[in-house]
Structure 1
Amino acid sequence: MQLPQKHSATGTTIFTVMSALAQQHNAINLSQGFPDFHIDERLASALGRAAADGYNQYAPMAGLPLLRQAIAESFQKRYNVTVDPDTEVTITPGATYAIYTAFTAILSPGDEVIVLEPAYDSYIPNIEMNGARAICIPLSAPSFSVDWQRVRNAITPRTRAIIVNTPHNPTGAIWTINDWNMLADAVRDTDIIVLSDEVYEQLVYDDRQHISVLQHPELRARSFALYSFGKVYNNTGWKMGYCIAPPALTTAFRRIHQFLCFTVNTPAQYALAQHLAHATEPIHSIMQRKRDHFLSLMAHTPFTLHTPAQGSYFQVMSYERISDMHDKQFAEWLTKEYGVATIPVSAFYSSGHDDRLIRFCFAKKEETLEQAVERLKNVPTL
């Protein structure tokens, strides 16, 4: 039986590989980006109440009006942008789904999409599954800033879209208003559509501010902005996200969405709508304490810190004083020999480019981080 190969990626994702390796060797899993602590009790209770109260049937295709209105109010309050909950917000089963749906809504065979690497590993397969081609441009390590001249040089008549990510996975870098202005300059007078992956938008540290594509009027008119409740409320297993886009792009998005999943978990939508109205401690404060604690512990290990993460769940560190192994080999060795699982940053490059960097997830309980670092202290230097 011959089956079509829809994309160039082979095997299972590095996240699955490293998590399985961690389980096999009883290692502490700092690889995959999920918290190991409980979600807010009020959110958990709201989910149970919604199910018990009978909210168990199909929600509207675009999402519950109550939740879409709550999202619009949140963006007005946090970013001072007006979002129409009826024509611009669509609830999705996670942000990865939203990324795929946005690509499917706009791409045709032969199109090109600019991807800035290192990049989340679903981007390129999503592009290729739609018959398009990814044009990969490396960010400049160790700051992982954008070389805007290379972006401009990559634009051709076939360029249909560019996907950007801030705060950035895996590096934790964030965009400034200058980055958005440079992007606007690059795509002006073209029909290029922007996909803005902003799933870590509420996880920004050291008094910095996340700047959304929605705050840039020129870009907003041509952009899908993509979000995740899982990263905000530490409930990644709920797989709940949403897409904000201008009406014409939202119409195209929903044209695909209605035939992919049609609708999304109803009791979870009720629970999230209620929880958005609660005043809670900002998640960035909680996560910055975890980042700071992790970095203070890691200062006593032979790993090298180039730049503290400005946002996200993740901290990239170098093992230049420990080994000259390829980063994938090093990550496997670290899991097997010292019982701590990480992600090699080369996994986020289509070429496998290796800067000898690994990614740690610090969205864990303090005791988890402390136990992991106690093991990492034993790693020898060259």
Structure 2
Amino acid sequence: MRGVIDLLVITSSDNEAKANIIVLEDGQAVEYVPDWQNADLYKHDLLLGVVTRHVPHLGGVFVDIGLDHDGLLHLKNEDPVPSIGSRVIITIKRVAEHFGLADKGPILSSIIVLAGRYAVYRPEQKPLRRSLLAELPPTEAESLFTQDLEQLEKRFVQIVISADSGPAPRRLAAFGDPLLVRLQAFATRLKSIQVEGIDSYIRVEQLLRAETPDLLPLLKLHPQHLEQGLAELHGLPDMARAVSERVVSLPCGGSLTFDRTEAMHVIDVNSGSCRESSPTALADRVNSEAVKEIARQLRFRNLSGMIIIDLIHQKNIEKQEMFAEQLQEAVSHDRGKVTVYGFTALQLLEVIRQAY
């Protein structure tokens, strides 16, 4: 069963212009977005770009989107090649810095996707239904899907009309805003939207009024002058430090160690100070706690790519499969796509995750 969600927006103590987003699920931090609203562009934003250069050897064109580096728009063989100086409506598919390439521009796509709370509109393609609909009665779900889809279609028409005039490059719609994405994803489970600091509160209120006005009753202001900040009130550690800590402790006395190579993330499970009556009981306890915490850390750190997990080794193959199944169940609440492939010949658990 999915837990209740509290969404926190906490103003940075050293800079009031910065705010961090924290998603709590049943009181535990499961998602963290640092420095909200200070990014130039977000993944899934809809942009009006200007073609600057043809690059056949890369299979596409470079497009000026208003950043220091042009983005790369890949073209299929059957796609017409836009002329230099022409305007194109594109979306951000991947942000280069997420792949350790901060000195490169983003990867762009001409496949437009507009995501609402209940529907995903794709011009000239079949619309998609959001997973939230599965939590609602069928009649209500169908009505909400239809309404949302109609609104998205109207918005897309307005975006296309607006792209015919005005400056370029520019952002046409901020569909990738991290706060908006989370409001849509957790709408049916949201218990509260708590905001620290009046400036952040005004920004959040404006976004709610424009995009999700039905969630306004959940909005609460936590004044900055109070003795306890929002982080302290919820017993949260320093998030910037927690999201990058190499070693994470487990309740039993064991620990997880996170390392990263060029090709993969590696998570080593250690028994540490945990004590049990037998090696089997020790491995069972540590591994059981480890898979639950690993599932949370994958979301919290938003890890992507290949992830290799070295659990406490056991000779019993059935036990190994049990922990693989437990991990699969634990990651079922993850908004990123997670695939648990099972154990390798060296008893390493192989996982692939796509970041959201």
TM-score, normalisation: structure 1: 0.27
TM-score (norm 2): 0.29
Larger-gyration structure (1/2): 2
Structure with the larger strand share? 2
Q: Greater share of helix residues, 1 or 2?
A: 1
